Structure 1
Amino acid sequence: MSAETLPPQPPPLPATDPPSSPTPRISIVHGPVIVGAGPSGLAVAASLRRLCVPSVILERSDGIADLWSHRMYDRLTLHLPKPFCQLPHLPFPAHFPTYPSKDHFLGYLHAYAHHFSLRPLFGCTVMDARFDPAVSLWRVMAIRRDLSDVPMQALSPSRSSDSLSESSRSTSSVSSETLTEPREPEVVEFLSPWLVVATGENAEPVVPEMKGAEGFEGSLLHSSEYKSGVEYEGKSVLVVGCGNSGMEICVDLCEHGAMPFMSVRSGVHILPREMLGTSTFGVVMKLLKWLPTKVVDRFLLIMAKMMIGDTEKYGLKRPKVGPLELKNTTGKTPVLDVGALSLIKDERIKIVSEVESLTSNGAKFVDGGEMAFHAVVFATGYQSNAPLWLKAISSFHSLPTPTRFIFLEAGVLTAEGKPEHSFPNGEKGIYFVGFSGKGLLGASVDAIKTALDVSARWTRLSERKDVGL
Structure 2
Amino acid sequence: MQADESANDAPAHKVAIIGAGPAGLATARALRAMDVPFTVFEKHSDVGGIWDIENPGSPMYESAHFISSKTMSGHYGFPMPESYPDYPSNRQLLTYIRTFAETYDLRADIRFNTFVDNVERTANGWHLRTRSENDTSQEHNFRWLVCASGTNWLPNRPTLVGEDEFKGEVLHSVNYRDASMLRGRKVLVVGAGNSGVDIACDATANAESAYISLRRGYHFVPKHIFGMPADVFGARSNWLPAWLQQKTFGPLLRLLNGDLRRLGLPKPDHAVLSSHPILNSQLLHYLQHGDIAAKGAIDYLRGKQVFFKDGSSIEVDTIILATGYHWQLPYLPTDTFAWKHERPQTFLKIFNRNDPSIFINGYVETNGGAYKMFDDMAYLIANTINTQRKGGDAAERLAQFIQGPEPDLSGGVRYVESNRHSGYANQQAYGKAMRKMRRAMGWPDLSEDFYAGHPASAQIQTAN
TM-score by length of 2: 0.75
Shift in Å at residue 295 of structure 1? 1.5
* 8 Å Cα contact 2:24-2:148 kept in structure 1: yes
Moved over 6 A (4+): none
Counterpart position of 1:188: 138
What amino acid does structure 1 have at the position aligned with 2:88?
A: P
Shift in Å at residue 343 of structure 1? 0.6
Which residue of 123, 145, 165 corresponds with 2:113? 123
Counterpart position of 1:464: none
1:351–1:115 CA distance, 2 compared to 1 (3 A): same
Matched, 1:421 2:352: no
Counterpart position of 1:343: 286
* 8 Å Cα contact 2:23-2:148 kept in structure 1: yes
For residues 86 and 209 of structure 1, the distance between their equivalents in structure 2, rounded to whole angstroms, comes to 38
Matched, 1:271 2:221: yes
Give SS of 2:97's match.
Answer: helix
Give SS of 2:314's match.
Answer: strand
User: 1:107-130 CA distances to partner (integer Å, 9 max, x unpaired)?
Assistant: 111111111222221222222223
Counterpart position of 2:201: 251
Which residue of 34, 41, 48 corresponds with 1:51? 34
User: 1:396-444 CA distances to partner (integer Å, 9 max, x unpaired)?
Assistant: 4xxxxxxxxxxx5x53x33413343213326421111111212334323
For residues 31 and 390 of structure 2, the distance between their equivalents in structure 1, rounded to whole angstroms, comes to 12
For residues 385 and 144 of structure 1, the distance between their equivalents in structure 2, rounded to whole angstroms, comes to 21
Shift in Å at residue 100 of structure 1? 0.8
Where does structure 1 lack aligned partners over 5 or more consecutive residues? Answer: 1-21, 147-184, 328-332, 397-407, 462-469
Give SS of 1:323's match.
Answer: coil
Which residue of 410, 416, 440 corresponds with 2:371? 440
Counterpart position of 2:380: 449
Counterpart position of 1:95: 83
Matched, 1:211 2:161: yes
* 8 Å Cα contact 2:36-2:386 kept in structure 1: yes
Give SS of 1:128's match.
Answer: strand
Which residue of 93, 96, 109 corresponds with 1:105? 93
Which residue of 307, 317, 320 corresponds with 1:364? 307
* 8 Å Cα contact 1:33-1:57 kept in structure 2: yes
Matched, 1:260 2:210: yes
Give SS of 1:189's match.
Answer: strand
Counterpart position of 2:248: 299
Which residue of 52, 73, 83 corresponds with 1:85? 73
Shift in Å at residue 24 of structure 1? 5.3
1:419–1:187 CA distance, 2 compared to 1 (3 A): farther
For residues 138 and 429 of structure 1, the distance between their equivalents in structure 2, rounded to whole angstroms, comes to 9
1:138–1:215 CA distance, 2 compared to 1 (3 A): same
Where does structure 2 lack aligned partners over 5 or more consecutive residues? Answer: 54-58, 393-464
Give SS of 1:238's match.
Answer: strand
Aligned positions of 1:216-255 closer than 5 A? 216-255=166-205
Counterpart position of 1:389: 331
1:222–1:193 CA distance, 2 compared to 1 (3 A): same
TM-score by length of 1: 0.75
For residues 300 and 131 of structure 1, the distance between their equivalents in structure 2, rounded to whole angstroms, comes to 48
* 8 Å Cα contact 2:148-2:361 kept in structure 1: yes
Give SS of 1:428's match.
Answer: strand
Aligned positions, number: 376
For residues 435 and 298 of structure 1, the distance between their equivalents in structure 2, rounded to whole angstroms, comes to 29
For residues 387 and 309 of structure 2, the distance between their equivalents in structure 1, rounded to whole angstroms, comes to 56
Shift in Å at residue 446 of structure 1? 1.5
* 8 Å Cα contact 1:88-1:448 kept in structure 2: no
User: 1:38-84 CA distances to partner (integer Å, 9 max, x unpaired)?
Assistant: 11111111121122222111122232224211231111111111132
* 8 Å Cα contact 1:199-1:384 kept in structure 2: no
Shift in Å at residue 23 of structure 1? 6.7
User: 1:10-48 CA distances to partner (integer Å, 9 max, x unpaired)?
Assistant: xxxxxxxxxxxx475453564211111111111111121
Counterpart position of 1:354: 297
What amino acid does structure 1 have at the position aligned with 2:349?
A: F
Which residue of 55, 75, 89 corresponds with 2:63? 75
Shift in Å at residue 257 of structure 1? 4.6
1:89–1:458 CA distance, 2 compared to 1 (3 A): farther
What amino acid does structure 2 have at the position aligned with 1:80?
A: S
For residues 226 and 250 of structure 2, the distance between their equivalents in structure 1, rounded to whole angstroms, comes to 14
